[in-house]
Amino acid sequence: METMGRRHLILGIETSCDETAAAVVSRDDHDNPVILSSIILSQIDAHKEFGGVVPEIAARAHLSALDYIIEKALDEAGCQLKELTAIAVTGGPGLIGGLMVGLMTAKGLAASTGLPLICVNHLEGHALTARLTDNISFPYLLLLVSGGHTQILCANGLGDYQRWASTIDDALGEAFDKTAKMLSLGFPGGPMVERAALEGDEKRFNFPQPLKGKDTLNFSFSGLKTAVRVTAHELAPLNPNDANDICASFQSAVGAVLVDRLRRSMDRYETENIQADKNIVIAGGVAANHYLRGKISTLCSERSWNLIAPALELCGDNAAMIAWAGLEHFEAGNLSSMDFSPRSRWPLDQTSPSLLGGGRRGVKA
């Protein structure tokens, strides 16, 4: 490892879905995390006509853009490859073709420079983002919500995550995307639903709030998605007001479900972590939804908890979170072998019983 007094510089590479990203992170002179660069190239336009991410198109786009994105990240950070401390790369979960592009690039750079390789769990990147942005300590409660995952976890330490809940069917981000598709709102679905909901009446439709009030922390969104489809079919052809009201009512039901599960999770956390700070972190692409942030923020205020939500650009897939996770693992002495293989599925908590949504590949992760 490097000598004392010299900053560790970690290059992060992220290619798990449809963002090609590279970033460099470090610590400042006061040991605080700092993002020196973060470059993200979105593939939205390439996938828009298909209404979702096409794995083969995504992989080819990563292959053609990644070298340039890495070069741009290094240039913006003001450093060269030879000045880096290590190379971190998403090893999974995600689309296997995209993961292979990022991993082979990272291995090539590591082999040619002699730098250590650190293969990062994409979900852990999301989980540790709050330590990058707010420098918080373990433990903390984590709500991970994305297109591929909906989980509540207790983050006890680096590499130590206890999954308390998961979805038993659809991930929340997937429910948003499919709602948008049913209503012909466009791609990506999450932001489209949120935008339409701003103009809608959330009280018009009494959509179900699956498992609310039940003695479980798990989630279910398939019934809610079905209710949206039935309502849209009954009202067809939809006018803009109908679509807006459906989106607002759907989002309201989601908010109620999240608040219900988090309230129960807070109770458990307070019982099991009596001396710990009461911090809840929300991460993943759906964490960018302003309405849901507001609902969770209100709950935290009522319970005297601290809400830590990353900046919007750090909610979706990005390489800064991968670089930061790499830095934490480097400092802990956790390096990866050059024979590491990409993993389409890689649960954060590998001890909990397997549930659909508990570490599975998704359209967006």
What are the structural domain ranges in the chain?
10-131+314-331, 138-311
- Split the chain (365 residues) into runs of 10 and give each run's mean pLDDT: 61 94 96 96 76 81 93 97 97 95 97 97 96 96 91 97 95 94 91 97 96 92 96 95 98 97 97 93 94 98 96 93 98 97 91 56 38
Fold classification of 138-311 (topology level): Nucleotidyltransferase; domain 5 (3.30.420)
pLDDT of amino acid 247: 98
SS3 146: coil
CATH number of 10-131+314-331: 3.30.420.40
Buried b (16+ CB within 10 A) or exposed e, 125-153: bbbbbbbbbbebeebbbbbbbbbbbbbbb
Alpha carbon distance 308, 305 (integer Å): 10
The token duo for 304 is 């005297």
Helices 290-303/240-272 angle, 10° precision:
30
Q: How far is CA 266 from the centre of its chain?
A: 21
Q: What was the pLDDT predicted at 357? A: 45
Task: Say how far residue 337 (Cα) sits from the centre of its chain.
Answer: 25
pTM for the full predicted model: 0.92
Q: Do domains 10-131+314-331 and 138-311 have the same CATH topology?
A: yes
